[in-house]
Homo-oligomer: A and B are copies of this chain.
């Protein structure tokens, strides 16, 4: 596998672009290929069985495109489908967002009381809880499915009264009495809402976004495997299974830079 091959990043849609943004910052010489399964999003409300099947198909498509490693940038897919993706990836390194997120949470917490907000499917899968308890057996993990936050982020309603009321609906009770000292944003859509979340939970809570630690984990694995690209300019190729216009419009907000719809390739999985 050549260092010049692209890093494959996949997500159910556009949320994973927050992870891509962190990867692009950490790895300035790499080529990236980002696949968003926009025809079938969201994964977060679907069963493990269906999410696994979709994740396998996405992984196979990226492997066919010649990527050198796979980043599962969707918490739901990483939570329930990482083993299935590894089985499809052969010898390629596969990095999910759950392990780095759990690692960051354990590094941040003092009390060991950690809250995880995520999609229904991620909560049901329980992967964050397992990953945190493996690192810190005395941790107390509270998981909460916060499905409406996905819709808020997708609509770009990330601040203002609507966002505040919805965030408070979920997090108000959780942080009222006996609050956790650390909050894991267990869905790649949620960093867009971080300022509003901060307003609701107050200044003292550690807010953990797995994007940064995931980017560090990817860099370490590429170096260890001897396939990091250390010179040359960065590039990104976007692939979606539906709606290049919506991908470009909503995705630009998540990536923090403009995506042009005509540069988004449409494929069928």
Contact = CB atoms under 8 A, between A and B. Distances in A.
B148 A157 contact: yes
B166 A155 contact: no
A242 B148 contact: no
A166 B155 CA distance: 12
Given A242-B46, A243-B47, A154 B147 contact: yes
Contact of A50 (B148, B151, B242): B242
A11 to B, nearest CB: 15
A66 to B, nearest CB: 26
A161 interface: yes
B39 A46 contact: yes
A238 to B, nearest CB: 16
Interface in A133-186: 147-148, 150-152, 154-155, 157, 161-162, 165-166, 169
Specify how many copies of this chain sit in the oligomer. Answer: 2
A65 interface: no
A246 interface: yes
Contacts of A46: 38-39, 242-243
A157 B151 CA distance: 13
Contacts of A50: 39, 242-243
Nearest to A13: B45
Contacts of A154: 45, 147
A5 B83 CA distance: 44
A263 interface: no
A120 B165 CA distance: 23
A40 interface: yes
Contact of A147 (B39, B41, B151, B242): B151
Given A46-B242, A150-B151, 19 more contacts: A38-B46, A39-B46, A39-B50, A41-B45, A45-B154, A47-B246, A49-B242, A50-B242, A50-B243, A147-B154, A148-B148, A148-B151, A148-B152, A148-B155, A161-B165, A162-B165, A162-B169, A165-B165, A165-B166
Q: What 7 A-B pairs have minimum CB-CB distances, sorted nearest first?
A: A151-B151, A165-B165, A50-B242, A47-B243, A162-B169, A39-B50, A46-B242
11 contacts: A39-B46, A39-B50, A147-B151, A147-B155, A150-B151, A151-B151, A161-B165, A161-B169, A162-B165, A162-B169, A165-B166
